[in-house]
Amino acid sequence: MMVLRAMRDDAHDFDALCQIAELSGPGFTSLTTDRDLLHNKIRRSEEAFTQTLDAPLDELYLFSLEDAETGAVGGCCGLESAVGMREPFYNYRVGTIVHASRELGVYRKTPTLYLSNDYTGCSELCTLFLNPDFRGGGNGTLLSKARFLFMAEHAHRFNDRVIAEMRGWSDDNGQSPFWDALGRKFFDMDYARADHLTAVSTKAFIAELMPRYPVYTTLLPEDAQRAIGRVHPNTEPALRMLKAEGFRYQGYVDIFDGGAAVDVLFEDIKAIKRSRVAELTVGTPTDQTRVLVSNRELAQFRCTLTMATIDEAGEQITVPPDIADALGVSTGDRLRYLTLS
């Protein structure tokens, strides 16, 4: 059984996160192989889980996907409560400039890239990575969707718009055509080096040295143009899941690799709208329904995937004893659940 839980500031979770950072490879800029920075992320997350808040500030919540029997960590994911509050948060907004001349019979629409801070203050889904050894068996669903149960339970900790930046496309050698065509023109470094610098510091230093004027995408090589709004093959399943939840591409891309950013109103996320709270009975489920089920804690948050029995009103749920033990709950407690098709 796999359980998603709040990441802990201990040697076990730290070593697991370091291994995940190594596995994620170039382009996964929300993680870095710098051990000090990873440790700081875990500390920041643990502080967020223990704070009493009336509104979102700039908290980071990290979660570990753990095998309940062996303790092995198979993945991680995260939530930022409000981006751009510690430092500027940049994207390129894809726009259009029209050049027209009636006398010459010319009418041409040219795509452009504008440097933007439009997503400042939004909450963000981030840092999702599943170890290839743990893929399958519903683990990807648990890792990605469990965050929505946490958000539904602690809605006051998040803002009314939620975004997700998708990892951009790169070739088999880890080279980004978007970076090579644009970013590299202003920095004397390759993609891997720039990727490392953005992970250990911030993307703000890139944005501050990039052109402030619109970039005409037609001046970029064709492979760079094709990379705009395109995601890495390993990211495509996550993008499909987000689109199914209501996230949409609105013409914003990453300034680093050109990967798509998607967004949605908090209240329109389907999993949040469909999640319910019910009273628990510990027993043997009949008429089983596949569900994500979580306790309603903050620092002790737990979520897992199981079969359960739910009454017609949706107010009573029965789960097996091992599931209740994994969540740290007992008969009479109230749980949050999400039915899965």
Distance CA 122, CA 198 (A): 20
| 29 DSSP assignment | T
Distance CA 174, CA 82 (A): 30
- Is residue 232 among the annotated active site residues? yes
Distance CA 303, CA 294 (A): 4
Residue written as token pair 């070593």: 15
* 197-to-29, 36, 167, 314, 341 alpha-carbon distances in Å: 9, 14, 16, 49, 42
Distance CA 281, CA 277 (A): 13
Residue written as token pair 């949409």: 248
Give the active site residue among 12, 154, 156, 232: 232
Distance CA 322, CA 282 (A): 9
Amino acid at 102: R
Cα-trace Rg, the chain: 22
Distance CA 243, CA 144 (A): 12
* Contact predicate 120/83, CB 8 Å: yes
Amino acid at 209: L
Distance CA 175, CA 195 (A): 10
Distance CA 161, CA 124 (A): 9
**Which positions are annotated as active-site residues?**
232
